[in-house]
Structure 1
């Protein structure tokens, strides 16, 4: 019985030693980089699900649509800005030093992302049964541009446009942010 206790405490000490070495060799930014990547993957998955609804490849379900919009909203704004606070360049990260140099622009884009996601969430609340025609881009919305259009410096009111147009402008925010603040792959 005594030898089993010695074996167990030896295994426990070995496990503690391995965890201590792992903790000592981990980079302080590793957890933040993983959290950023996890958040961005969640945002991308949510955007893909909304995109599938607008493309007609997935049926409209107001709860799922709202959940996707709320996921994007949760990972935008202040949370996104805070995840990229301080020194942002770290091993394993594609974030560029431009974020530090152009903090107001980055923070503005993070806020806009949340505002467009909120508009999508509200649209789901207003349309619990069907993807209503007023959720689709039309007329004025179509002339204002889509995800590849040139960005205006002033953000239009997301609540005054169709959900589809808010979605396209939200994608434009993502594209602009990645173009400006993500390192280029060589």
Structure 2
């Protein structure tokens, strides 16, 4: 069997450096990463306030359908302590969490709140324009980004120094005082 020439090996390695989109695996070009990574749903098995959540969990179109629709998200359903309030917490890839209370909501509203958390980016909402119940771009008012200065730029007021101006030697200061008097 003949050994490949160095030029042939070089051509094989160069062929693997293409920029075509990958098959869709994590880290490939064109791969979409869902901002929501984990959803934790907590409810009480006996509380009347959790009736809508229990109804949503038992319906075929409820939790199972949503988990099939979003397979990249980790789903946790836990039964809380007796009398605890039902709530859903979404954990996002930017280390933020959002919690929405589901106290006495019907099953249709529970589904809306789940879709609200799943389609959210995890960024903090602020201002009077932000409303929790609607997921439209008009109602979102994101906080403004902090503008950072580039390295090496001179500040507008200059650099502060505790010494102020140049310090003179003690003997030179005494000589200056004698000359002025």
Asked if Structure 1 and Structure 2 have the same fold, meaning a TM-score greater than 0.5 normalized by the shorter chain, the answer is no
Instruction: Please state which structure has a larger fraction of its residues in helix.
Output: 1
Between structure 1 and structure 2, the one with the greater Rg is 2
**TM-score, normalised on structure 2?**
0.28
**TM-score, normalised on structure 1?**
0.28
Larger RCO of the pair (alpha carbons < 8 Å, separation 6+):
1
